[in-house]
Amino acid sequence: MELQCLLEVNRLTHELLSSFLTLDSFESIVSEVNHSVSSALGRITLHIFWELTYDFLPHYCYNGSTNRFVKTQQPHVNETRREKMTREIPDVQLYGTRELNQAYDIVNNLYRGFVGVQHFRTMTRLLGYQGIAVVIQEMLKVVKNLLDKTIREFVEKLRACMPKQCKLPRSDYGSPAILQYYLHQLHEIIHYPALQDVFHCFRELGNAILFFLMIEQSLSQEEIKDLLQAAPFQNLIPRPYAKEGEALEAKIRRLEAKYAAMSLVNIIKKLGTEKQGKLVEESDLLTRERLCIGLTTFEVMLDRIRGFLLEDPVWSNNSSSAVSSNISPLSNIDDTHDFHRIWSALQFVYCLPTRHENDMSVEQLYGEGLNFAGCTIIRLLSEHRKFETYDFTYHLFKINRSDQKEDEVKNVSLPTFTERIRKFQILNQQIFACLNKYLCHTTTDEIPVERVKCLTPMTLQTIQSSIPIYQHNRLPGTTSEC
C-alpha cells in the first residue's frame, strides 16, 4: 500500500514538472527503475512472488468473516529473515517533510498487520497483466509441488491409518454411542503424530487457492472500472428511462446522436492515419469482447488443479470409480479409500473441542485455508455429494439434533462438539457454493446419463391375459370387461 501511495505522489510530481521540463513518460521511468525493460520479470514482481511463497502461504490464516489474512500466532516453520535497511531514508525522498511523512504513515498504518482486499487490488495495479500471469504461473508450480509430494505422501499414510470400512451407525444407538464408535474407529487418525504437518500443508494449498480467488475478484473490479470509464467513448449508451407510451428506440437514437462526437473510433478514423484507425478498431473490439465474454482466471486455475489431481492415480484411481465400472456406487459407501472419507476423518479431528481453555483452536492456527483446500479437492474430484451425504460429523450432528443428548464421552463434550460441527458445515456449504459458481460451466458433462425405459401402465385385460388364474377360472360365455 505504501509503495502504491509513493508511486501516485511521484506520478503527480512528474506531471507538474512536465509542464516546465522535457521529461520521459512516467511509465518509462518506472519500467527502467523496476528493471522490467532489460528483464522479463520486474523487481516488484519478483518481490511479490518471494513474499507470497515464503511468508504469505505458510504463515497467514484466512478469516472469511473479515475477508482478511492475518499472521498466525504460532508459526509452523521458521519465519523469513528480511534484510535490514542499511541507512535511513531522508524525508525528501519520501513525501517531502517530516510532518507529511508522519501524516502518511498514520494513513498507511491502517493497512498493516493483515492482507486484505485493498492489498490485492494494489497488487493487481502494480503487477499488470504480465506480472499477474507470471505470479500465477509460478504459484501453480507451488501447488503442483504440494499435491505431488507432501500432501500426496500424507494422504497415502492417512489412508493406511483409516479402517477398511467405517459405517454410519443407525440412529437407534443414540449420539453418545455414535461418538464413542467414531472415536474408536478413528483412533489412529486422531493420534497421528504428524497431524499438524498435514494441516499446515493443506493450509498452504488453501491459501494459494484463496490467492487465486482474490486476484480474480480484484482483476474483475479493475476491468469493470475500465469498461465503465470507456463506455462513453465507445458509444455505449445506458438504457434510458421511458414513460408509458414513449418510444424507447427513438429516445436511444437521440442519445446516440447527442454523444456521437465522443466516439473515439470515428474521431481517430477521421483525423488519424490508416494505421491508427486499424489499431483503434482492434482496441474497441477487444474491449467489447472482454465485456461480452466475461473471462475468469479462477475457473482456469481450478481446471489446472483438477488436471494435477487426475494425473496422479492416488487421487483419481480409487475404489469408488463406479462411473467407469459396472459396480453400483451404493456398494462402496462404507469404503474408506476415497479422499472424501479421509477428509471426513480429518474434519472429525479438527471439530474436536480443545482440552484446555488456553489451547489455540484449529481456526486460530490454520484459518479457513485448511477447509478451502479440502473442499476444493473434494469438489474437483466430484466427491462433494458423497461427502455431504456420508460425512461422519454430519451424521453425528443429525442424530444429536434429534435426540438432544448432552453427554460427555471420553472428555469430549457432545454439545460443544456438535456446535463446532454446525459451524464447519456452514463454512463448507459456503465454500462449495463459491466453487460451484465458477465450475458451473465445466461440470455439465460429469453428470452420468441415465437410461430410463418407459413402460405402458397395466390394464385389466393385460393382467387377465398374463396371469393363468384368470384364464382357468373364467366361466364359459363371460367376457373380461368390468
Lowest model confidence (mean pLDDT) among 72-86, 181-195, 383-397, 402-416:
72-86
In the predicted structure, residue 221 carries a pLDDT above the cut 50: yes
pLDDT digits (tens, 9 = 90+) for 284-332: 887 777 666 656 889 999 999 999 999 988 887 654 443 344 444 454 6
Answer whether residue 86 shows pLDDT above 70.
no
Burial 444-471 (b: 16+ CB within 10 A, else e): eeeeeeeeeeeeeeeeeeeeeeeeeeee
190 and 353 in contact (C-beta within 8 Å)? no
Going by pLDDT thresholds of 50, 70 and 90, the confidence category of residue 425 is: very high
DSSP assignment of 380-398, as one string?
HTT-HHHHHHH-HHHHHHH
Neighbours of 291 (CB within 10 A): 17
**pLDDT of 51 strictly over 70:** yes
pLDDT average, residue stretch 65-77: 88
Nearest-angstrom CA–CA distance, 134 and 333: 43
What is the C-alpha separation between 140 and 300, in angstroms, rounded? 11
Q: Which residue has the higher pLDDT, 457 or 18?
A: 18
Q: For the residues of 32-74, what is the DSSP string, one character each?
A: HHTTTTTSSS-HHHHHHHHHIIIIIHHHEEEETTTTEEEE-SS
Percentage of the residues of the chain whose pLDDT score is greater than 90: 46
Mean pLDDT of 10-18: 91
Q: What is the pLDDT of residue 321?
A: 41
**Tens digits of residue pLDDT in 132-154:** 999 999 999 999 999 998 999 99
H/E element holding 163? none
Give me the residues paired with residue 409 across strands.
412
275 CB neighbour count, 10 Å cutoff: 8
Query: Which three cell numbers, joined as nine digits, stand for 20?
Result: 516546465
The domain ranges of the chain are 34-83+90-226+297-322+333-444
Residue 212: predicted pLDDT = 95
Which of 1-10, 87-96, 138-147 has the weakest average pLDDT? 87-96
Q: In this structure, are residues 108 and 2 in contact, taking their beta carbons and an 8 Å threshold?
A: yes
Contact in structure between 199 and 368 (CB atoms under 8 Å): no
**What pLDDT, in 10s, does the model give residues 273-283?**
888 888 888 88
